[in-house]
Structure 1
Amino acid sequence: MGCYECCMRCLGGIPYCSLVATLLCFSGIALFCGCGHQALTETERLIETYFARNLQDYITLAYIIQYFQYVIYGLASFFFLFCIMLLAEGFYTTNAAKQTFGEFRSTMCGRCLSSTFIVLTYVLALLWLLVFALSTLPVYFFYNMGSTCHTIDDLTETPASINQLCVDARQYGLLPWNAVPGKACGITLSTICKTREYQMTYDLYIAAFIGAGITLMALVHSSMQLAMNQDNLRRLRSRAKTEGYELYGQLMRDRGGPCSGTQHRWCEMTANRSGR
């Protein structure tokens, strides 16, 4: 076997769809976890600087942010291992389906493992759909804040109307109702929107939202790919069994021997398939 044939054989055994899904999952989780972690840190700084003057007003929020940051650490580690296992499963099912490395072999343990990965990936996709929906909440909050600031900038000629435009962090559950001041209005709010902290936090939440969407797309793609590989394995297993029956029946007919006893069923099935 030449070098070209060897390279083509190796390239033919690469599960490209699973590889794309793995890269999407890696990039999506990295974007979601990295940007989400930094966005939470910047959110705590914004609340502390502009919306709360007392530590007791935002200490609960600080604990919640710290808890979510620990969750992000766990998600990054889990999906790193899970994506590697998905890629390994893609190599196994693709090689078995394409018969790249020898004869077709599919054990009961391998089929059970593939089915388990399909179910697990499908459940993770449903759970991550909830994470994707929740990641829209901070984007919605900062979008409303930016829209209010844009309105304030357009109404600079009427100061009385400007002071009535506010963003209240207490309405979104970020602070308790007795927090002081708890909200920012007028020129103060417009100044906050022009700070580097606000712009960077807004961009980080958008990036985390995009990362959550990429991860969801990767999980759905992986679930469909694993199901398709499992279906290909089932078809190859059925084809191998049928070819075995036909080969045995043809051998018996070539020998001119009768089909009797335990051989009768195989010969009958072969005759029915061949139309003889």
Structure 2
Amino acid sequence: MEDNMDESQSQKGCKECCERCVGSLPWASLIATILLYMGVALFCGCGHEALTGTVTILQNYFELIKNPRDLLDVFTIIDILKYIIYGLAGGFFVFGVLLLVEGFFTTGAIRDLYGEFKITACGRCLTAFLMFLAYLFFLVWIGVTAFTGLPVFMYFNIWSMCKNASLVEGANLCLDLRQFGVVPISEERKVCTGSEKFFKMCESNELDLTFHLFVCALAGAGAAAIAMVHFLMALAANWGYLKDASRMQKYEDIRSKEEQELHDIHSTRSKERLNAYT
């Protein structure tokens, strides 16, 4: 009988411990971090491979080569974009870790207000600063998403041209890089539907793969922007909870001091009465 009671008590203890651990997890920050990492990884990986495929298409089908005399040509811009992708991957990895740590700390501080953790003004200021950074990075990802939509639109036009050229007989369509600003106006780099290069480009795997990679990169940028919205909501809620918890802590401190003062007054009066009787 005693063994069964001990087992039931141990099971209740394990259950309470598991519930406490699960309840102390910052689920909003955790979900936002996972969504942010997935979006950034999808954007950076697919964006890097899509830029590499773009270079291959320009070199193979448009015969565009890098000119050493040009300081800022399309290949240099693509290399700069790759470095920006590397910076985004590293920077947002660190930023996601900071936000997740802040979520863990805030959740623990709220649930253990009168225990080991203490609500301080520094913690509230840190949460407000991270909320400000999250808002700025949300605007950055909105811009990145809009910028990523440009190559998706361009490749969709090329894909449509390939489909229309095969369906409509005698269609005379040309793809000129000058209309996209890739080459100067004085330099003519175009491929028309009647040429062999155009059909090779349409039938190649580079065009289809690069188009779908840009679409995936656009989806990743959108997911990262949504993750920043989740972070903003979580940080705003944490800041409000911290503010309310700080007020509650001040109220409890004042009430404990008043109770201590009343207790001291009662003890002093009781001593005075005892001395008067004696």
Q: TM-score range by the shorter chain?
A: 0.7 to 0.9
Question: Identity percentage over the alignment?
Answer: 39
Structure 1 stretch 182-191 or stretch 169-178: which is displaced more? 182-191
Report the secondary structure of 2:180's partner residue. Answer: coil
Q: TM-score, normalised by structure 1?
A: 0.83
- Going from structure 1 to structure 2, the CA distance change for 1:53 and 1:217 (only over 3 Å counts) comes to closer
Which amino acid letter does the alignment assign opposite residue 81 of structure 2?
A: F
Superposed CA offset, 1:134-162 (max 9, x none): 00000000111112222212212xx2xx1
What does 1:79-94 correspond to in 2, within 5 Å? 79-94=92-107
Match of 1:219 in 2: 228
> What is the deviation of 1:254?
8.1
Which amino acid letter does the alignment assign opposite residue 216 of structure 2?
A: A
> What is the deviation of 1:178?
3.2
> What is the deviation of 1:51?
1.7
Which amino acid letter does the alignment assign opposite residue 57 of structure 2?
A: L
Q: Partners in 2 of 1:243 and 1:81 — Cα distance?
A: 37
Match of 1:13 in 2: 24
What does 1:152-171 correspond to in 2, within 5 Å? 152-156=165-169, 159=170, 162-163=171-172, 165-171=173-179
Report the secondary structure of 1:167's partner residue. Answer: strand
Match of 1:192 in 2: 201
Q: Partners in 2 of 1:108 and 1:235 — Cα distance?
A: 12
Q: Partners in 2 of 1:237 and 1:191 — Cα distance?
A: 68
Q: Partners in 1 of 2:52 and 2:261 — Cα distance?
A: 77
Q: TM-score, normalised by structure 2?
A: 0.82
1:125 paired to 2:161: no
Which amino acid letter does the alignment assign opposite residue 193 of structure 1?
A: C
Match of 2:109 in 1: 96
The match for 1:42 among 45, 53, 57 is 53
Contact 1:132 1:209 (8 Å CA) reproduced? yes
Q: Partners in 1 of 2:121 and 2:107 — Cα distance?
A: 16
Superposed CA offset, 1:181-220 (max 9, x none): x122114434422210000000100000000000111111
Superposed CA offset, 1:29-80 (max 9, x none): 1000001001001101101111235543998111111111111111111111
Q: Which has the larger radius of gyration?
A: 2
Q: Partners in 2 of 1:88 and 1:104 — Cα distance?
A: 14
Contact 1:153 1:190 (8 Å CA) reproduced? no
Report the secondary structure of 2:175's partner residue. Answer: strand
Which amino acid letter does the alignment assign opposite residue 66 of structure 1?
A: D
Q: Partners in 2 of 1:191 and 1:139 — Cα distance?
A: 21
- Going from structure 1 to structure 2, the CA distance change for 1:167 and 1:101 (only over 3 Å counts) comes to farther
The match for 1:115 among 117, 128, 146 is 128
Match of 1:142 in 2: 155
Q: Partners in 2 of 1:38 and 1:52 — Cα distance?
A: 20
**Unpaired stretches in structure 2, ≥5 consecutive residues:** 1-9, 267-278
Report the secondary structure of 1:132's partner residue. Answer: helix
Q: Partners in 1 of 2:163 and 2:30 — Cα distance?
A: 44
1:177 paired to 2:190: no
Which amino acid letter does the alignment assign opposite residue 105 of structure 1?
A: K
Q: Partners in 2 of 1:244 and 1:60 — Cα distance?
A: 66
- Going from structure 1 to structure 2, the CA distance change for 1:53 and 1:93 (only over 3 Å counts) comes to closer
